[in-house]
Chain A
Amino acid sequence: MDKITQVKSGVSYKRTRSHRLGILLLLSAVWFLHVATVLMAEQANEFQVKAAYLYNFGKFVEWPAGVPASQGDSFVVCVLGTDPFGSTLDSTFSNERIKGKNVLARRISKPADATSCRILFISSSESPRLKEILAAVDKAGVLTVSDIPQFSRVGGMIQFVVDGSKVRFEINRARAEGAGLTVSSELLKVASVVRVNP
């Protein structure tokens, strides 16, 4: 329930803007301090939305039965590299279920550990070795998600794009289907870009 509320980023945005307008009417002395605060708030808010999206992706994507990711009792969402979510991911996933399984967040450091994940969020800290990571999970049936720029062009499946105050995403449908995943048309419908070339 919480995450759905959080999805409405416009809510926060409006409040923030009115807040900011109020601040602008105030003394400019606190301007920089305020900007810093707002940026931090937006940053936090952005990852709340992304966490909720990660959860929702699980509902609009089908995994093939034989892949390692579909094994086990939990629906595992992994974060590779520096975790930008903090505790948000765990609080978003707590008590939630996808496809009848408990949703679990796991932090990993090696791409090899990613084969047991359903969804792999690749932190921007991993951008230098992105190619190796993608190659490692290429056939493992793992939905790769990242906010690294050009992610969906270079072989990633879903790339978060921040458009103004909104979090949007691009989908490389060819990649996802090449890995045996089926992306729901409902999800494709709301994607800002759908790529059909790998």
Chain B
Amino acid sequence: MNMLVSAGALLLAGGALYAYDMVSLRQSLVSNLSIEAEIIGATSSSALLFNDPNSARRTLSVLNESPHITAAVIFGIDGKPFASYFRNPPTALPPKPVFKDSDTQTYSFGRNQIAFARLVAFEGKPIGTVYMESDLGDMRDRLERYAEILIAVMLMSLMAALVISSFSRRSISVPIVHLAEVAIAVSRNKDYSVRATSSEKRGELAVLIHAFNRMLDQIQLHQEDARRAHDELDHRVRERTAQLAAANKELESFSYSVSHDLRAPLRHIDGFSAMLVQSYGNQLDANGQKYLQRIREGAKHMGQLVDDLLNMARLGRQDVVRRQTDANLLVKNAISNLQSEYEGRQIDWRVTDLPVMDCDPGLMKQVFINLLSNAVKYTRRTQQAVIEIGRSPENENVIYIRDNGAGFEQQYAHKLFAVFQRLHRAEDFEGTGVGLATVDRIIRKHGGRIWAQGEVNRGATFFFTLSPSGDIVTELNHG
């Protein structure tokens, strides 16, 4: 493309030069002829005026010295040839030249010659005409030589351009393309270890390639730094997590063993206090019997606490084994499990259609048992107990359990799920404060959340979801 353009430009310039030269050559030829004709006319004017063709012929004979003049004729004012000169014997006399309007000279270019005519005037009056023919061989030779030189120069400059172009291709285009390829490879493969190579040691391209490689060096360094920092962080996190898990496990096994070890002395207290009632109950007065009864209740309560704690610890160590589980079935089982707790009471169970959940069925059954057990417990004093289980209309992944029992103050809602935390006195509603903590723990292990809404004497609603999406949950929480 570049070559074509430069060749075209050269051709155009050459053509223009040639044309200009041709025009100027012609002009100079015409002007030379004009001068010669003028001189001949001036020196022939007396010959014309005194009708002396011999003198005119003598004048014309000097044209022998001008090799390009092939013929010259002086015409009288009457239009007849007065004197003539021919380099070679003429085939025919030229016709009398005709001038346009007020022109004093005229010329016409033929293929090989130019015919030129000029009016001869003496003291402002025309007295004849000088006609000359000049062959263009000289001019043609010159133009041909000129064209040859032009073509030679053009070919040479084209060749030079070719050489320069191929040189620049090798020394500029190729390295730049190589650089671009390397840049593309780097950005595509994110491999900052490759380097562009330079065949030259000096020049702008070498500087560019060197700068590019330096940039890659920097990027590679930064990348390695970042990776090292990341690895270090990762390593530290793993370490901390492992430490944490170990500590947690230690704590759990500690609390498990503590709970377990507490059971033996507790069994002694229970067992021996039972034997005391049995063997020596009659010997105690009413007060003594009451104290003994309190001891036994305390031991029983403590036993319950220990059992619950052990249970919770066990759950904590247990892995979640997920399975597609029909929540309706879980609820049904839980209700039948709780039958003993609400025997003799009228409870309106309202269970609407529940989803199939991806969860550990054993653990989730425990969740429903705990939540429904709470509902049964806190509706004990309600005239017409209603317990609803269903899916939240705002988000079908959220399941709620609502009762119209004792409820709680919303401001303490955050305490509900902490171990041993209770919002009611044990005298009103018995309990250990472990059940909701267990529920919270199981749901968290599933990756879900649980929260509660309540109002004193108006009931409580527990919402939970096993889906980790939190936005609608938050919205519900606030609503």
User: Which A residues are closer than 8 A to B by beta carbons?
Assistant: 1, 4-5, 7-11, 49, 53, 56, 59-60, 166-169, 184, 186-187, 189-190
Contacts A186-B43, A187-B46 given; indicate if A8 touches B78 (C-beta within 8 A): yes
Specify which chain A residues have a CB less than 8 angstroms from the CB of B122 in the assembled complex. Answer: 59
**Distance, CA A53 to CA B47, complexed state (A):** 12
Using known A-B contacts A5-B77, A5-B78, determine if residue A189 contacts B55 with beta carbons closer than 8 Å: yes
Q: Which of B283-312 contact A (CB under 8 A)?
A: none
Docked Cα-Cα span, A5 to B48, in Å, equals 10
A184 CA / B122 CA spacing, docked (Å): 14
Q: Is the C-beta of B45 less than 8 angstroms from some C-beta in chain A?
A: yes
Q: Rank and list the top 4 A-B pairs by shortest CB-CB distance, nearest first.
A: A186-B46, A190-B52, A190-B50, A7-B51
Contact of A190 among B46, B76, B78, B127 (CB under 8 A): B46
Encode contact with A along B8-52: 1 for CB under 8 Å, 0 otherwise. 000000000000000000000000000000000001011111111
Residues in chain A near residue B50, CB distance under 8 A: 7, 53, 56, 169, 187, 190
Per-residue CB proximity of B65-93 to A under 8 Å, as 1/0?
Answer: 00000000000111010000000000000
Complex: A59 Cα to B122 Cα, angstroms: 10
**Would you call B45 and A186 a contact (CB within 8 A)?**
yes
- Once the chains bind, are B49 and A56 in contact (CB under 8 Å)? yes
A184 x B46 contact (CB < 8 A): yes
Determine if B127 and A4 form an interchain contact, defined as CB atoms under 8 angstroms apart.
yes
Residue B141 is within 8 A (CB to CB) of chain A in the complex: no
Q: How far is B45's CA from A41's CA once the two chains are assembled, in angstroms?
A: 27
- CB-defined A-B contacts under 8 Å, sample of 6: A5-B78, A60-B46, A167-B51, A184-B46, A187-B46, A189-B47
The answer, yes or no, to whether B204 is at the interface (CB within 8 Å) is: no
Please report B residues at the A interface, Cβ cutoff 8 Å.
Answer: 43, 45-52, 55, 76-78, 80, 122-123, 125, 127
A8/B51 contact (C-beta < 8 A), A1-B125, A59-B122 known: yes
A55 closest partner in B (C-beta): B49
Say yes or no: A8 contacts B80, CB within 8 Å.
yes
Q: Tell me the complex Cα distance, A166–B51, Å.
A: 8
Count A-B pairs with CB separation below 8 Å. Answer: 51
CB neighbours of A189 from chain B (8 A) = 46-47, 52, 55
Q: Which residue of B lies closest to A60 (CB)?
A: B46
Q: Which residue of A lies closest to B125 (CB)?
A: A1
User: How far apart sit A77 and B76, CA to CA, in the bound complex (Å)?
Assistant: 27
Q: Please name all residues of chain B whose beta carbon is closer than 8 Å to the beta carbon of A56 when the two chains form the complex.
A: 49-50
Query: For the complex, would chain B's binding face be called helix, strand, loop or mixed by DSSP majority?
Result: mixed
On whether the beta carbons of B49 and A4 are closer than 8 Å, the reply is yes
Which of B45, B47, B51, B55 lies in contact with A9, CB distance below 8 A?
B51
Closest to A97 in B: B123
A166 / chain B contacts, CB cutoff of 8 Å: 51
Q: A5-B77, A56-B50, A60-B46 are in contact. Are A190 and B123 (CB under 8 A)?
A: no
Residues of B within 8 A of A190 (CB): 46-47, 49-50, 52, 55
Question: What residues of A have a CB within 8 angstroms of the CB of B52 in the complex?
Answer: 168, 189-190
| Distance, CA A49 to CA B52, complexed state (A) | 13
- A4-B127, A59-B123, A189-B55 as given contacts; A11 in contact with B47, CB under 8 Å: no
Residue of B nearest to A1 (CB): B125
State in angstroms the CA–CA spacing of A49 and B51 once bound together.
Answer: 10
Nearest chain A CB to B41 CB, angstrom units: 12
Give the shortest distance, in Å, between B131 (CB) and chain A (any CB).
17
Tell me which residues across on chain B come within 8 A of A11, comparing CB atoms: 78, 80
Cα–Cα, bound, A11→B51 (Å) = 11
- Taking A4-B125, A8-B80, A186-B46 as known contacts, 8 extra A-B pairs with beta carbons closer than 8 A to each other, sorted by chain A number, are A1-B125, A4-B127, A7-B48, A7-B50, A169-B50, A186-B45, A189-B52, A189-B55
Q: Which residues of B contact A7 (CB under 8 A)?
A: 48-51
Nearest CB in chain A to that of B82: its residue: A8
A147→B48 CA distance, assembly (Å) = 21
Q: How far is the CA of A59 from the CA of B80 in the complex (A)?
A: 24
A62 CA to B99 CA, complexed, in Å? 34
| Minimal Cβ-Cβ distance residue in B for A53 | B50
The residue in chain A whose Cβ has the minimal distance to the Cβ of B77 is A4
Q: A53-B50, A189-B46 are in contact. Are A8 and B76 (CB under 8 A)?
A: yes
Cα distance A11–B76 in the bound complex, in angstroms: 11
Distance in Å from the Cβ of A169 to the closest Cβ of chain B?
8
Distance (whole angstroms) from the CB of B128 to the closest CB of chain A: 9
Chain A: which residue is nearest B55 at the CB level? A190
Residues of A within 8 A of B77 (CB): 1, 4-5, 8
Q: Which residues on the B side are within 8 Å of A9 (C-beta)?
A: 51
CB distance from A53 to the nearest CB of B (A): 6
Residues of chain A with a CB closer than 8 A to B46's CB: 60, 184, 186-187, 189-190
- Cα–Cα distance between A187 and B45 once the two chains are bound (Å): 10
Tell me which of A1, A60, A186, A190 has the highest count of chain B C-beta atoms within 10 A of its own C-beta. A190
CA distance A50 to B76 in the complex (A): 18
In angstroms, Cα B50 to Cα A60, docked, is 11
A9→B78 CA distance, assembly (Å):
11
Considering residues A4, A53, A187, which has the most beta carbons from chain B within 10 angstroms of its beta carbon? A4
